[in-house]
Amino acid sequence: MEWQALWLSLRLSFWTTLILLAIGLPAAYWLTFSPRRWKFLVEALVALPLVLPPTVLGFYILLAIGPHSPAGRLYAALTGGMLPFSFQGLLVASVLYSLPFAVQPITSGFAAVDRKLIEASWCLGVSRAATFFRVIVPLSIPSIVTGMILSFAHTLGEFGVVLMVGGNLAGITRTVSISIFDDVQALNYSAAMHTSLLLLGISFLVLAATYGLRRRVWAVWPIN
Amino acid sequence: MADQLDVEVRKRHPGGPEIAAVLRLPLGKPSVMVLFGPSGAGKTTVLRLIAGLDTPDAGFIRCGHEVWYDGARGVRLAPQERRVGYLSQDYALFPHLTVRGNVAYGAHGHAIHEVHDLLARFELGEFADRYPRQLSGGQLQQVALARALAAQPRLLLLDEPLSALDAPTRLRVRGDLRQLLAGVQVPAVVVTHDRNEALALGDSIAIMIDGRLRQAGAVESVFDCPADADVAAAVGVETICPARVISRSAGLVTVEIAGARLVAVDTAGGSSDVFVCIRAESVAIERNPSGNPTSARNRLPARIVLVIPEGPLARVTLDCGFRLTAMVTRQSEEEMHLCEGQEVTAVVKATSIRIVPRVY
């Protein structure tokens, strides 16, 4: 079994989840509360990775971050490195690929917050930003945690996008799912089986935690 | 003009009726204005416009020297800048915060120190560490009021503050609320559709029907002297009948309703087509269909159509050629053995009949 690949996948999932938390909260806030009519277009854009084949998504990301693209040139100018076939490139791809898994649960959580509580906060003189952190986020904790867990699990299991953008470089871009593919190609079934079983276990635990948490909507209210 | 809340707004929700309201509320002394009207009249919308939670289509809202909204000049202050204590019908307490957390939520600066005093004043000290879901309806209302006052508002807006409570609690809390509103130095606008609440809480009243402000003034005078039949119906006058003026003399007017004649104080302003408005508690019932009409009293032969017990009272529907509703005590109902189909005499004082012009 490839511990290096597993460690890489966990690192990738961790950073992807963290970045998605930072992007997901404001994105979900905008999607929930913006009065813009055309926000359904943004909603569709965010949901695109759910239906797009990972190869298609990976291909476009590869083009977008390639050395001849504006983003690629900017990155090269800033860091001297290249995004494709690097951990950072993989991170960019993972964030885009898991975006709906973070944004959608958080959006539905925000939408479920009673509008009157938000208005009560405004009338008490508390700014919109402070209301977000003092009312909306605390009341959406289960949804936010769900979004984070799903992002983590989804990144852990991604394959197609990783292969397109990162290739298969040991310790840099060879994630656990690619190592399984490699093992099977090399007819090393026992290693593939071990890794697969581990991934299955982790995924099940993560999902069980998610659904357990969802059931307890009242979990935000302390029990005494 | 300076020290008053000055509201003149129009607002149309998509698919709804247009709401148009003109309100003046003095801010100098603590005064309570009741915004009264049937459900769907637009009362809550007016409160939300004043609080800044909705934007009017046109008009202005001024509070003292501050302009909160001016459609023509494009001024619109955010709710945060208006310092209004707004209580929605279900109080909207934060479920993730304790009573103390809720009350302290909008307090800043030295007002933080007053949170403790407020908790004590509302007798919430022992509940300070509980969560809203652990409190009764009356306590929730107290927390919501304390929370609003902790933010030091210059105006309180209460949307049906008692409607979420059960009947016995409502009676008790109504008394407390009256005392509280008189005690705090903050003027208030209270929305209600309950006549007893309006009488108990209000110094002045504004009647709103179908999005329009129809009559405003002191509570008693509006209830006793509705300006037209719609207002009379809104304030709960039981009998409202179209009638024709037959003669006028010495401030009294004689009208005819479906063959029956009534003498009343003339308040119709010269109209010959009028509405007769009679409160049920102004109608007395006499068992024997006898006696002569005097100038002060109208005596009408009547037949009882329906008797409905209402707590210590009974509501009696009479047929005197037109339908007349009377309210009698259960005791007199039993003493007179009132029953359906019985012939009685309905007695109404001329001063208890309100005549309003019929306008088409």
What pLDDT is stored for residue A1 in this prediction? 57
* Contact between B53 and A122 using a beta-carbon 8 Å cutoff: yes
> A80 — contact with chain B (CB < 8 Å)?
no
pTM of the model: 0.82
User: Considering the domain boundaries, does residue B18 fall inside one?
Assistant: yes
Would you say residue A56 has pLDDT above 80? yes
Are B35 and B48 contacting, i.e. CB atoms less than 8 angstroms apart? no
User: Considering the domain boundaries, does residue B229 fall inside one?
Assistant: no
User: Considering the domain boundaries, does residue B119 fall inside one?
Assistant: yes
- Domain residue ranges of chain A, discontinuous segments joined by +: 3-30+53-215
- Best of A114, A116, A123 to substitute, by most chain B Cβ atoms within 10 angstroms, is A123
Domain with B243 in it: what CATH number? 2.40.50.100
> A115 — contact with chain B (CB < 8 Å)?
no
User: Considering the domain boundaries, does residue B121 fall inside one?
Assistant: yes
What pLDDT is stored for residue B173 in this prediction? 84
Cα A23-A26-A30 angle, rounded to 5 deg? 130
Class of domain A3-30+53-215: mainly alpha
* Contact between B79 and A126 using a beta-carbon 8 Å cutoff: no
Euclidean distance between CA atoms B343 and B192, whole angstroms: 39
Q: Is B300 found in the same domain as B183?
A: no
List CB contacts (< 8 A) between B85 and chain A.
Answer: 123
List CB contacts (< 8 A) between B108 and chain A.
Answer: 125
CA dihedral (B189, B194, B196, B197) in degrees, to 10, reads: -30
Structure-model confidence comparison of residues A210 and B205, the more confident one: B205
Question: What is the value of ipTM here, to two decimals?
Answer: 0.81
- In the listed set B201, B224, B247, which residue is the last one of a domain according to the structure? B224
Facing A123 at nearest CB: one of B86, B93, B131: B86
List CB contacts (< 8 A) between A121 and chain B.
Answer: 94, 105-106
Q: How far is A145 from chain B (nearest CA, A)?
A: 17
- In the listed set B166, B197, B224, which residue is the last one of a domain according to the structure? B224
Q: Is B16 found in the same domain as B151?
A: yes
What is the average per-residue pLDDT within B355-359?
A: 84
Q: How far is B80 from chain A (nearest CA, A)?
A: 4
Q: What residue numbers bound the domain in which B299 lies? A: 237-357
The string of pLDDT tens digits covering residues B167-223 is: 888 888 888 888 888 888 888 999 988 888 888 888 889 999 888 888 888 888 888
List CB contacts (< 8 A) between B51 and chain A.
Answer: 119, 123
Q: Is B217 found in the same domain as B105?
A: yes
Beta bridge partners of B227: none
Closest residue, chain A, to B51 (C-alpha): A123
Facing B79 at nearest CB: one of A114, A122, A138: A122
Closest residue, chain A, to B152 (C-alpha): A124
List CB contacts (< 8 A) between A126 and chain B.
Answer: 80, 105-106
What is the average per-residue pLDDT within B335-355?
A: 87
Q: Is B166 found in the same domain as B61?
A: yes
Closest residue, chain B, to A224 (C-alpha): B130
* Contact between B88 and A139 using a beta-carbon 8 Å cutoff: no
When computed from its CA atoms, the radius of gyration of chain A, rounded to whole angstroms, is: 20
- Provide, rounded to the nearest whole percent, the portion of chain B with pLDDT above 70: 96
* Contact between B53 and A221 using a beta-carbon 8 Å cutoff: no
Domain with B73 in it: what CATH number? 3.40.50.300
CA A103 → CA A47, A122, B339, distances in Å? Answer: 9, 25, 69
Q: How far is B93 from chain A (nearest CA, A)?
A: 7
* Contact between A119 and B88 using a beta-carbon 8 Å cutoff: yes
Evaluate the CA torsion angle A139, A141, A142, A146 in order and state its sign.
positive
Q: Is B203 found in the same domain as B77?
A: yes
Q: Is B256 found in the same domain as B210?
A: no
The string of pLDDT tens digits covering residues B327-337 is: 988 888 888 88
Domain count, chain B: 2
* Contact between A221 and B96 using a beta-carbon 8 Å cutoff: yes
